[in-house]
Amino acid sequence: MPKVHQPNLRNIRSESSNLQVGKNGLSESFLIELSNRLKKEKIVKIKFLKNAPYNTRQEAITILKTVLNRNTEVVEKRGWTVILKKKD
């Protein structure tokens, strides 16, 4: 049986963010792109920019978790950067 590529948390930590949330916040197009990336890559790094319409990091993460389904978990939070992983 061939090996399936598993996302490596160490690699994604060192990379720049896959997606960025800016002044439009969690728009419909952003959520569609996030969903597609999670299906394809299983792990995604998101950066909330300074002009994102959220007062605190926790507020941004809470909103993100509510719009995503229960098959996604927050792996790591550092500053305004979040790593999400699709549950198996």
Residue 84 to residue 74: CA distance in whole angstroms: 5
* Euclidean distance between the first and the last CA atom of the chain, given in angstroms as a whole number: 19
Q: Identify whether 2 is part of a domain.
A: no
Per-residue confidence at 7, pLDDT binned at 50, 70, 90?
low
Q: Domain of 74: which CATH number?
A: 3.30.110.60
Comparing C-alpha atoms, which of 46, 34, 32, 39 is closest to residue 77? Answer: 46
- Contact yes or no for 51/22 (Cβ under 8 A): yes
Helices (H) and strands (E) in the chain, counts: 3, 4
Q: Identify whether 41 is part of a domain.
A: yes
> Which residues constitute the domain of residue 53?
9-86
Residue 25 to residue 54: CA distance in whole angstroms: 8
What pLDDT, in 10s, does the model give residues 75-84? 888 888 888 8
What pLDDT, in 10s, does the model give residues 33-70? 988 888 888 888 999 888 888 887 778 778 777 777 77
